[in-house]
């Protein structure tokens, strides 16, 4: 049994996002509407539940505020095959789990060199607070969404 309680995730992806970022919260809402196969679980980077996972990969919750990694996607958290995806690779993993046409989009976008897609990702990450704002508190999920958040 994992120490952090990630057993309930199963083979789903864990999406770690900046809970104070207006853009990130909007993206999470967008993912929730499209994840009809229940493939994703969400947790804000500020949550103590992910502190150990972040530390294992040389990160902390403040990296989501000041750094270029505003989104992490984790396969098999706390498991033997734990894998962390950042920047555009994280977005591609997410699109790959969504139903069509998003899976097809992920296949096409994999052809874009990562130095280009990561540059675009970092540009959005740099401007996200100025454009979409910084939330003082993390939004509370609805009752039906709550089961999908850790």
How far is the CA of 85 from the CAs of 48, 88, 92, in angstroms? 20, 8, 9
Rounded to an integer, what distance in angstroms lies between the CA atom of residue 19 and that of residue 61?
A: 10
Please, which pLDDT band fits residue 147 given cuts at 50, 70 and 90?
Answer: confident
Q: 103-123: per-residue pLDDT in tens? A: 888 888 889 898 998 888 788
Which tops the pLDDT comparison, 82 or 68?
82
Q: Specify the pairing of strand 71-75 against strand 13-17.
A: antiparallel
Report the candidate in 77, 17, 82, 9 with the shortest Cα–Cα distance to residue 40.
Answer: 9
Mean residue pLDDT across the chain: 85
Q: Is the peptide bond before 127 cis (omega within 30 degrees of 0)?
A: no
8 Å CB contact between 34 and 61: no
pLDDT at 1: 40
Confidence tier at 65 by pLDDT (50, 70, 90): low
pLDDT score, position 130: 82
Q: What's residue 2's pLDDT?
A: 47
pLDDT over 90, % of the chain: 31
Of 12-16, 25-29, 45-49, 84-88, highest mean pLDDT:
12-16
Average pLDDT over residues 11-19: 92
pLDDT over 70 at 11, yes or no: yes
Residue 142 confidence (pLDDT) above 70: yes
Report whether 38 contacts 145 (CB < 8 A): no
Residue 5: pLDDT above 60? yes
Torsion of CA 113, 116, 117, 118, to 10 degrees: 110
H-only helix segments in the chain: 22-34, 51-56, 63-66, 87-97, 102-109, 114-132
Token pair recorded at residue 146: 């709550």
């Amino acid at each position: 049994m994992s120490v952090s309680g990630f057993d309930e995730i199963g083979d789903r992806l864990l999406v770690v996002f900046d809970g104070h970022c207006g853009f990130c919260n909007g993206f999470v809402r967008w993912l929730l509407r499209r994840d009809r196969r229940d493939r994703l679980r969400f947790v804000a980077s500020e949550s103590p539940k992910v502190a150990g996972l972040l530390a294992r990969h040389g990160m902390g919750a403040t990296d989501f505020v000041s750094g270029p990694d505003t989104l992490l996607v984790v396969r098999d958290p706390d498991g033997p095959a734990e894998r962390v995806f950042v920047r555009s690779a994280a977005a591609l993993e997410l699109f790959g789990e969504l139903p069509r046409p998003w899976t097809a989009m992920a296949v096409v976008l994999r052809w874009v060199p990562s130095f280009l897609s990561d540059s675009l990702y970092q540009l959005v990450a740099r401007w996200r607070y100025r454009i979409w704002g910084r939330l003082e508190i993390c939004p509370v999920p609805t009752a039906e969404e709550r089961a999908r958040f850790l």
